[in-house]
Structure 1
Amino acid sequence: MMKHLAECFLVLSIFPSLFFTGEVVPIRVNCLLNQSILLSPSVDSSHSVQHVYWNFQTYIIASYINNQLIVIQDKFEGRLEIVDNGRSLRIGELRLEDSGLYAGTITFTDKSKDQKTYNLTVYDYVPVPTIVSEEMKKNGEWCNVTLRCFTPTNTPALSYIWNYKHGDISSTILYKNTGDTIQISLQLESWDMEIMCIVQNPVDRKNVSVQKICRDYDESDRKAIKDGTCWIKLYIYLPILISLSLSLPLLCLLNRSKPE
């Protein structure tokens, strides 16, 4: 028995056998690399299966005759399995090059036939992204920053969603389908918000988040403000301290000079 990982699911199961201008409408199937997919050309029938032929693109990849599966294409060797007495075919350990059109034609013992066509797309796993701050400018209480959601490999068919979390507002969509780079302007009270980038394809997704983007670049400013505040306090209190220090000896002399 062939071992397999979690199976993919049909993306489009509505009207699976529609015919337009004499052509079968393929059922779209999206699947992850190394997973398996179960293709079923047969509707429910009380008759037994006589034979089945499976095509990939323009050539036959396998046949099922006399209860025996014959794999014709070498690249599918060891990855095909007949299920439900010939009514379904499982393809395991999917590869990226397995993407394409599959057609299954089944003939029953009463000579009736059934056929379905599948448009299979195999996707790679989405890599774990990182958020990179490419440019930042602060003007008073405003922080203008350009963020890029960087993925380490050039994986195709990726889409991006940017969310933010701040205070009681959680997981609010900031930008959707805008690409891997965004430009945002934050007011001072929002400088510590959490910003999340979600990277996805039709069958997998990853996310990463950063927080206090503008605050992280603001340490020197805050230190300068703190030091400046200390100097302001010193300017205010130093004259008072000097005045008190000079007044105390004078008060002592006055007290001594008073007649008893």
Structure 2
Amino acid sequence: MTLSCKRFLFRMFPYFLLDTFSRAVENPTHQVKGILGGSVLFPANISQGITVEKMEWDFYPQSGGLGFWLGEFSHGKLEHPSPTDRFGQRLDMVNETTLKVKDLELDDSGIYNARIWFMKSRFQEQSFSLTVYEPVPTPQMLHQEVSNTLEGCNVTLQCQTPGREEHKVSWERGNPSRALESSLDEFQLSDSGRQLHVFWNTIPFDSTLTCLVSNPVSEKRASFDLSHICSSIGGK
């Protein structure tokens, strides 16, 4: 049977047959996170002592459009429908139950379905939902001095990142850095946490403040020392 025929049969397999076996061993969709240019693994969950005859994989892109067959793994070999498709040579089997995708692209985000065939024509389906993220860019710390008096220094810090992707922003203090306690009256956050308004009088806490920008796969920091603009407090 040609690969094109296998692909057609895989996509057109009667769904009523799934009820005979896959419901009994149904697994939830596994969430997988990857970073642009990196690699991910999709390890199928197989009970010990069960012999796997072969595995078939297909893919449905997150961006929409039709899904397509990725390949079949059997007898120690992964067969692709075409080595020139969008995945090219980026697919590999780490072992008989684990698919690896290398050199990740943003369009690789989507659902990866595995159909695992056992003896006596029984099979099980498992799914993996992959989200590929770009690496977090290095943030830039901007500052604006509001007031600088004998009582203390009011400063607004802004944590900026290039690009359109939304990132989580949090703040730290000290060196080495530790979490900034939001309960302290000296701090106020605005602009979805990207702006920090702080009153500093050189006594309550360290002068170094750090913004931490992160997504599920990477993080970057930028720091600023308040003493650079508040050194004249108290006549110093």
Q: TM-score, normalising length from structure 2?
A: 0.71
Letter in 1 for 2:87: F
Letter in 2 for 1:193: S
1-structure distance, mates of 2:31, 2:94: 21
The structure whose RCO (Cα within 8 Å, separation 6+) is larger is: 2
| Corresponding position of 2:3 | none
The percent of aligned pairs where both chains have the same amino acid is 26
Q: Give yes or no for contact 1:33–1:124 (8 Å, CA) kept in 2.
A: yes
| Corresponding position of 1:198 | 212
Letter in 2 for 1:210: F
Q: TM-score, normalising length from structure 1?
A: 0.65
Letter in 2 for 1:107: W
CA gap of 1:135–1:44, structure 2 versus 1, over 3 A, is same
User: Residue 174 of structure 1: CA displacement?
Assistant: 4.1
User: Residue 66 of structure 1: CA displacement?
Assistant: 5.0
| Corresponding position of 1:71 | 80
Q: Give yes or no for contact 1:37–1:92 (8 Å, CA) kept in 2.
A: yes
| Corresponding position of 1:82 | 93
- Gaps in structure 2 of 5+ consecutive residues: 1-22, 61-66, 183-188
Q: Give yes or no for contact 2:148–2:230 (8 Å, CA) kept in 1.
A: no
CA gap of 1:139–1:36, structure 2 versus 1, over 3 A, is same
Name whichever structure is richer in helix by fraction.
1
| Corresponding position of 1:173 | 180
Query: Could you say which structure has the larger radius of gyration?
Result: 1
2-structure distance, mates of 1:143, 1:218: 6
Q: Give yes or no for contact 1:124–1:155 (8 Å, CA) kept in 2.
A: no
User: Residue 123 of structure 1: CA displacement?
Assistant: 1.1
Using the TM superposition, name which of 190-199 and 169-178 deviates more: 169-178
CA gap of 1:49–1:148, structure 2 versus 1, over 3 A, is same
User: Residue 100 of structure 1: CA displacement?
Assistant: 1.1
SS of 1:217's partner is helix
Q: Write the deviation string for residues 8-44 of structure 1: whole angstroms up to 9, x where unpaired.
A: xxxxxxxxxxx8xx98531111111222111122403
Q: Write the deviation string for residues 154-190 of structure 1: whole angstroms up to 9, x where unpaired.
A: 1524111111128xx9624245994322212223546
CA gap of 1:48–1:92, structure 2 versus 1, over 3 A, is same
CA gap of 1:137–1:59, structure 2 versus 1, over 3 A, is same
Letter in 2 for 1:217: I
